[in-house]
Amino acid sequence: MRADGGRVQIASRYAQVRQRMGNYVLLYDDERKPGLAMLVSLFGIEGFKSLNQELAAYTEQEAIEFLEYMAGEEAEADFTEDIVLPVTDEEWAEEEKRFQSLPEEQKAIATTQGGLFWSGFFSHFFNTLALMTHGAKLTALVPQAISGDDDAFLKAVQVDRLLLTHHPYFIERKQRAQDSGKEAEFLRALAYRESNPNLKGPIRYPALFFLFGVLESLQWLDDLKHDEILDLCDEMGLDRFQNRIEDVNYLTKRLRDYRRFQKTNGVSMH
């Protein structure tokens, strides 16, 4: 993304999936929806219903143990071991062949769960890009836009253009501006945001802030020790010198920069 000036390029096959799943932008209306879509995709609709019934009968200790499991590596392995995303044309063809071989009932289930998975995936992905670019998630910007905040509207559109083609409020707001003949300034600002790269913003360390944003979305940023976050940076291959995180003290400074950026942008992270 950096090599292309901050403009997000999605591989063509996945770009087609995103267009077909374009209604995922409706998940931005509520902070809880992206995570819920992903959770239901992993458990299945019936499995999710059963899980809710089981959770209702849990004791407090059993609920704590379940949450600890869900946050751990074992759960991650259990849920992701069967997720294999095709890359080559041959792999795509093999997946299509496998899908077509399923009984019709299984096809319907796979289609529903696949739609939920990609909806959760893309909404999480662009939510985090918004954190990098504007210091606020789309699940914060979109409700603000719907309540009449045009600045939030423009910021949201810059990050995820599909809002303008798949979200009823964004479609209506643009159409209203075009029809009125009195909102030339808004339309100029909208055209400017549409032409901007998704990641064009005042953030000096985008990859580092991306990591901070992911950790904050998981509510881990305040819980991890700074040396643990530095270890994560190393594992991700973030250049210490380039990101000015040569040691724990420097990482602490970058975290302060991150918090300062949030405050100066005047938007909530949640």
Structural domain count of the chain: 2
Q: What confidence tier does 38 reach under pLDDT thresholds 50, 70, 90?
A: confident
pLDDT at site 43: 83
What is the spatial distance between Cα 127 and Cα 160, in angstroms, rounded to a whole number? 9
| Structural domain contains residue 222 | yes
The pTM of the whole model exceeds 0.75: yes
| Structural domain contains residue 138 | no
Q: Where a domain ends, among 84, 108, 125?
A: 125
Burial class (CB in 10 A: 0-12, 13-18, 19+), 181: exposed
What is the spatial distance between Cα 259 and Cα 246, in angstroms, rounded to a whole number? 19
pLDDT at site 2: 53
- CA torsion through residues 42, 46, 47, 48, sign: positive
| Structural domain contains residue 78 | yes
pLDDT at site 71: 59
187, 191, 197, 199 alpha-carbon torsion, rounded to 10°:
0
| Structural domain contains residue 172 | no
**Tens of pLDDT along 126-180?**
988 887 788 788 999 999 999 999 999 999 999 999 999 999 999 999 999 999 9
**Tens of pLDDT along 185-208?**
999 999 999 998 887 766 678 778
| pLDDT over 50 at 23, yes or no | yes
Tokens of 204: 């000096």
| pLDDT over 50 at 269, yes or no | no
Of 70, 58, 116, give the one whose Cα is nearest residue 218.
70
What's at 29, amino acid-wise?
D
Q: Where a domain ends, among 125, 155, 182?
A: 125
Contacts of 201-206 with CB under 8 Å at 24 or more apart are 201/132, 201/133, 201/134, 202/261, 203/132, 203/133, 203/135, 203/261, 204/257, 205/243, 205/244, 205/254, 205/257, 206/2, 206/6, 206/132
Same domain for 14 and 119? yes
Q: Where a domain ends, among 125, 145, 167?
A: 125
| Structural domain contains residue 188 | no
152, 133, 140, 73 alpha-carbon torsion, rounded to 10°:
170
Same domain for 9 and 112? yes
| Structural domain contains residue 150 | no
Report which secondary-structure segment, H or E, holds 203: none
Same domain for 110 and 10? yes
Tokens of 261: 């950026």
Same domain for 118 and 13? yes
What's at 67, amino acid-wise?
L
What is the spatial distance between Cα 183 and Cα 199, in angstroms, rounded to a whole number? 26
Of 212, 217, 83, give the one whose Cα is nearest residue 138.
217
What is the spatial distance between Cα 191 and Cα 214, in angstroms, rounded to a whole number? 29
Secondary-structure breakdown of the chain: helix, strand, coil percentages, each rounded to the nearest 5? 70, 0, 30
Q: Which domain holds residue 229?
A: 206-265
| Structural domain contains residue 113 | yes
- In DSSP notation, 88-126 reads SHHHHHHHHHHHHTS-HHHHHHHHHHHHHHHHHHHHHHH
| Structural domain contains residue 109 | yes
pLDDT at site 22: 95
Same domain for 212 and 98? no
**Tens of pLDDT along 59-88?**
888 877 777 776 566 666 666 666 778 888
